[in-house]
Amino acid sequence: MAGTKELGGKVAIVTGAGRNIGRAIALTLAEAGASVLVNARSNRAEADAVAREIEARGGKALVHIGDVADAAAMQAMADTVIKQFGRIDILVNNAALRRERPFAEMSYAEWREIMDVTLDGTFHCVKACLAALQKSGAGTIVNIGGLSAHTGAKDRAHVVTAKAGIIGFTRALACDLASDDITVNCVVPGLIGTPRPKDKPEPAHHMTHQTLTGARGRPEDVAAAVRFLCGPGARYITGQAIHSNGGAYLGA
C-alpha cells in the first residue's frame, strides 16, 4: 500500500469496521502499514468487503464477526488476531449504537442496549486485548467518542451518557495503563457526512450545530486523527479527547 509505513509491523483491531467511520479507520491504518482485524457485529459481507479492499491495496486483513457486548466473543476476537498475526498493538473502539427516543418514553431495556454496546463493549474489548497491548511496548487505545457527549442532544439521553462515559473511561485508562507504555485517547467526530438509512432522520444536534467552515466532514477526516494517535509521533499524547468536527463544538 502506498504512503508512509509508520505502522509497519503493527497489528490493529478496529471494532464496528464494516462501514462509515470504522471502515475508513481500518483502511487508513492498513495504509500506514498495520495488519488489521476488521470487526463487525453481524454483517459479514460488509466486513469481508473492507478486508478485500485492504488486501487489494497490498495490506493484511482478518475478519471477525462478534458483538462487542459479548465478553466471550471479544476474547475470541483477541485470541484470533494473536493466533493469526502474533500480537496486538492498536485497539480502536469504534462500535456503538445510536438510537433516538424521548427520555419520558425510554425503557430501561433501551437504555441498557446502548450502554451494553457503546460503554460496556469498550470495557470488554480493552479487557480482552490488554495482555497483548501490555506486551507491545508501545500499545495504543483509541476510543471513538461523540459530539453530543459534549453538547447534549434531544432524545439521546442514553447515547449522550454512554459517550460521556467513554471520555471518563479514556482518562481513567490513560492513568492506569501509562506504566505499561499504553496511550489511551479519544477521537470525537462530529457532523460527519455518512450515509443514513431513509427511515433514520438527521440527529437533532446536527440541526443545531454547524461547522466553522460550513462543510461536513468525511469519515477519512476522523481516520486521519486516529492514524496520528496510533503513530510514533503521538506517544506523548494520552488521556485526551481530540475533536474532529470542523469546529462544530465551538460553533454551537
Full DSSP string of 51-91 = HHHHHHTT--EEEEE--TT-HHHHHHHHHHHHHHHS---EE
186 vs 171: CA distance, rounded Å: 9
- pLDDT tens figures, 178-222: 999 999 999 999 888 765 555 555 555 555 567 888 888 999 999
Kindly state the DSSP code that residue 160 receives in the 8-state scheme: H
E strands within 11-167? 11-14, 35-40, 61-65, 90-93, 139-144
The per-residue pLDDT for 192 is: 84
- pTM, entire model: 0.92
The per-residue pLDDT for 252 is: 45
Q: Which amino acid is at 211?
A: T
139 vs 189: CA distance, rounded Å: 22
**H/E stretch holding 23:** helix 20-31
Answer yes or no: are the C-beta atoms of 15 and 68 closer than 8 Å: yes
Helix (H/G/I), strand (E/B), else coil: 143: strand
- For residue 197, what are the contacts with CB-CB under 8 A and spacing of at least 6? none
The per-residue pLDDT for 195 is: 58
Q: Which residues of the chain have pLDDT under 70?
A: 1-4, 194-209, 249-252
Among candidate residues 59, 23, 35, the one with its CA nearest the CA of residue 220: 23
**H/E stretch holding 185:** strand 182-189
Answer yes or no: are the C-beta atoms of 145 and 130 closer than 8 Å: no
Helix (H/G/I), strand (E/B), else coil: 182: strand
The per-residue pLDDT for 199 is: 56
The per-residue pLDDT for 193 is: 74
**H/E stretch holding 250:** none
Among candidate residues 140, 161, 139, 141, the one with its CA nearest the CA of residue 149: 161
Domains by residue range for the chain, with CATH? 11-244 (3.40.50.720)
- Taking the mean position of all CA atoms in its chain, how far away is CA 87? 19
Answer yes or no: are the C-beta atoms of 160 and 152 closer than 8 Å: yes
The per-residue pLDDT for 201 is: 55
The per-residue pLDDT for 16 is: 98
Q: Which residue has the cell 506504566?
A: 179
The per-residue pLDDT for 207 is: 52
- pLDDT tens figures, 132-154: 999 999 999 999 999 999 999 99
The per-residue pLDDT for 122 is: 98
